[in-house]
Amino acid sequence: MLDPQLSAWRERSDAALAGALPALDIEPKTLHAAMRHAVLLGGKRMRPLLVHASGVLFDADPLVLDAPAVAIELIHAYSLVHDDLPAMDDDALRRGQPTVHVAFDDATAILAGDALQSLAFEVLAAAPVDAAIRVELLRILATAAGASGMCGGQALDLGATGNGGALTLAELEHLHRLKTGALIRAAVRMGALCGGADDDELASLDVYADALGLAFQVRDDILDVEGDSATLGKTAGKDVAQDKATFPALLGMQASRERLAELTQAMRGALAPFGARAEALRALGRLAVERDR
């Protein structure tokens, strides 16, 4: 159950995403439909919520926060579209819906993903805030999305798949720090930056975001083992089937749960200096750790 503040931000993000995506009734309609399918049919909106929850710590203007919230979700959504392609994870189900290449076709899915990435930067470039801050937001997002961030992590994952036992724990964590962690850290950092956070504050939030990103992935790996496809909204058991490097495969379930507890402690410590104002970030940490899908 989402608390009212998080629910309100989620609704706000959904509306901002719907408004930023190209309309269904203008050409090329199929591309636009595929882009909207990729983004608007469900999703936890974890990254937009992190932007708002981080921004509120520093009284950032919600109108400004909408831009990075939308942009980061567009990047996340495009990565899922490409990740689900037959040439990558070959997944037919996502958020309980047919994946984009299943609902449309592979070529449209590739293009829709590409256009979603462009749109993310277009949205950020139009954020109603000083150009200097916009450039910094653009730099953070581009770096987090690219070869030294999310795409780099995907490439490491590709190299490790079918070879699950060969990674060390440090390598597995590095992979996830790039693959999912880079965007999560970017979300928190962009929100804080919109409110004028200082370097010490950004450093504490990086510790929180780093632990959150890893916790999110450990929980994901546990759910792939324990969950069922109907609840998850995606195909369960794929990691084992593909001999993916996962925390349960490397550590076992018990030690994976212990690692999750450690990461929860790390989040708690990093948020302590912010007191009661960080309640939304704490709630998002609990959601990541306790979610069942």
Determine the size of the site formed for a second copy (CB under 8 A). 52
Shortest separation between residue 186's beta carbon and a second copy, angstroms: 12
Q: How many CB atoms lie within 10 A of CB 203?
A: 11
- Mention every residue, 6+ apart, whose C-beta is less than 8 A from residue 39: 17, 21, 73, 74, 77, 116
Shortest separation between residue 153's beta carbon and a second copy, angstroms: 8
Nearer to a second copy, 65 or 288 (CB): 65
Cα angle, residue 74 at apex, residues 175 and 209 outer, rounded to 5°: 45
What residue type is assigned to position 81 of the chain?
V
Shortest separation between residue 171's beta carbon and a second copy, angstroms: 10
- Per-residue binding string, a second copy, 71-90, x by CB under 8 A, is -------xx--x--x-xx--
Shortest separation between residue 143's beta carbon and a second copy, angstroms: 6
Nearer to a second copy, 33 or 225 (CB): 33
Interface segment toward a second copy; rule CB under 8 A; list 9-17, 51-59, 108-116, 249-257: 108-116
Rounded CA-CA distance 280/54 in Å is 8
Shortest separation between residue 80's beta carbon and a second copy, angstroms: 12
**162 in contact with a second copy (CB under 8 A):** no
What is the number of alpha carbons within 13 Å of residue 222 lying toward its C-beta? Answer: 22
Closest to 185 in 3D by CA, of 200, 207, 155, 217 = 207
Q: How many CB atoms lie within 10 A of CB 27?
A: 8
Closest to 93 in 3D by CA, of 240, 265, 245, 238 = 238
Rounded CA-CA distance 218/257 in Å is 8
Query: Quick check: 90 and 227 in contact, CB under 8 A?
Result: no
Q: Which of 91, 114, 226, 243 binds a second copy (CB under 8 A)?
A: 114
**131 in contact with a second copy (CB under 8 A):** yes
Q: Which of 13, 54, 99, 154 binds a second copy (CB under 8 A)?
A: 154
Rounded CA-CA distance 196/78 in Å is 29
Nearer to a second copy, 35 or 205 (CB): 35
**118 in contact with a second copy (CB under 8 A):** yes
Rounded CA-CA distance 273/208 in Å is 12
**54 in contact with a second copy (CB under 8 A):** no
Q: How many CB atoms lie within 10 A of CB 38?
A: 29
Cα angle, residue 195 at apex, residues 192 and 201 outer, rounded to 5°: 45
Q: Which of 146, 162, 252, 273 binds a second copy (CB under 8 A)?
A: 146
**100 in contact with a second copy (CB under 8 A):** no
**148 in contact with a second copy (CB under 8 A):** yes
Binding interface with a second copy (CB under 8 A): 22, 27-28, 30-32, 35, 78-79, 82, 85, 87-88, 105-108, 110-111, 113-115, 117-119, 121-122, 124-126, 130-132, 134-135, 138-139, 141-143, 145-149, 151-152, 154-156, 158-159
